Amino acid sequence: MPEYSSDQITVTYDPEVCVHAGNCVTQLPAVFDLKKDPWIDPSGATVDEVEATVNACPSGALKSHRAS
């Protein structure tokens, strides 16, 4: 499963679970941008904003955990 990390948080994405609702790209485009490679950049927002967007993923394809 792909992982995308900043110094503070890691986001994982499971493309087989994703239903492509688009919540992530509309709620936090500074982090989730399909036009960029990599398309997830967790350093584009605060850790709390990233976690809130990940938690709103309707399919559960996105997961996150804070760095220790």
Locate 9 and state its tokens. Answer: 């948080």
- Quote the mean pLDDT of the chain: 96
pLDDT, tens digit, for every residue of 44-57?
A: 999 999 999 999 99
Query: What are the distances in angstroms from CA 13 to CA 41, 45, 63, 64?
Result: 12, 17, 7, 9
d(CA 46, CA 65): 13
User: What pLDDT is attached to residue 41?
Assistant: 98
Q: What ranges in 1-68 are assigned the alpha helix state H? A: 23-27, 47-55
pLDDT, tens digit, for every residue of 14-45?
A: 999 999 999 999 999 999 999 999 999 999 99
Do residues 2 and 61 lie in contact, with contact meaning Cβ atoms separated by under 8 Å? no
CATH class of 3-66: alpha beta
User: What pLDDT is attached to residue 19?
Assistant: 96
Domain ranges of the chain: 3-66
Do residues 47 and 7 lie in contact, with contact meaning Cβ atoms separated by under 8 Å? no
User: What pLDDT is attached to residue 68?
Assistant: 79
